[in-house]
Amino acid sequence: MTTTVVRRIGRFLLPLATSLILLLVIWTLFLRLFPQIGPRVGKTPSDVWAYLVTSAGAPTARQAIFDDLLITLGDAASGFVVGMLGAIGVAALFVLYSAVRQTFMPVAMLLRSVPLVALSPIVVLIFGRGTAGVTVLAAIVVFFPALVMIMTGLSEAPRQAMELVTAYGGTRWTRLRMVAVPAALPSVFAAARVSVPGALIGALLGEWLGSGTGLGASLVRAIPMFQYNRLWASIVVVTVVSVLLYAIVGVIENVVLARFGPSAGS
């Protein structure tokens, strides 16, 4: 790994670390500014740390949250893969065939404007309350933003390079594979970074409204059962995991783009 790549990764990770520290500060200040929340409901970072690490019941509490987290990560991963693959395929069709784009892009934007909570009963009715339904909900959250970003990247391929491939007898699919896809790599990775937290949100919502398993369901159950320690700890865990996954995708992005991106070698 070259020095340039290490510097790019460092520049990417530093704002994330700063954001996490800032979140801790905002969290602490929020509880101080609103004392009416009370220590029974509002848990501080030290309370969450004690619940997960230092208290006598920490191993049991931690294991329960991590068991639910594994279910949520599986749901989010399947939704992420389905949503990203669908977005890449549809974006390629939209870029290659303008008639398809003009016909179906308004439909896609119309569906995007429908709140996910409103779509959830229909998705559950069609796909059931199991993994399939949660996967579809997570994929919906991933699909639409990724579609727009990837389609924009594919559309901005260098015109001269596209014309050169055409001059040598290349088809539109050849132009897509040899020119548009490499040029769109930054957009694909940007879509992937945005989609990782989105997939987690979709999975949590699907578990809450559909499967009744995973962190999404346990978060909702914790409120009427007055399990505020578990509620705050679960939120912290899923937030940290979301940031870590975002960071992992960003590191992979910097490594890949340094070698294969449009500005590779510059």
d(CA 73, CA 80): 10
In the structure, what pLDDT confidence band is assigned to residue 264 with cuts at 50, 70 and 90?
low
Mean pLDDT of 73-98: 92
Q: Where are any strands of DSSP class E within 45-126?
A: none
Query: Dihedral of CA 132/138/143/149: which sign?
Result: negative
Q: Inform me whether the pLDDT recorded for 260 exceeds 70.
A: no
pLDDT for res 259: 74
Q: Using the 8-state DSSP alphabet, how is residue 210 labeled?
A: I
Q: Using the 8-state DSSP alphabet, how is residue 43 labeled?
A: -
d(CA 82, CA 40): 41
In the structure, what pLDDT confidence band is assigned to residue 125 with cuts at 50, 70 and 90?
confident
Query: What's the whole-model pTM score?
Result: 0.86
Tracing tokens 């992937």 back to the chain, one arrives at 192
pLDDT for res 231: 92
pLDDT for res 266: 46
Mean pLDDT of 180-204: 89
Look over the chain and give the mean of its residue pLDDT values, rounded to a whole number.
Answer: 86
In the structure, what pLDDT confidence band is assigned to residue 108 with cuts at 50, 70 and 90?
confident
pLDDT for res 177: 80
d(CA 229, CA 226): 9
d(CA 182, CA 137): 30
Higher-pLDDT residue of 120, 248: 248
Q: What percent of the chain has pLDDT over 70?
A: 97
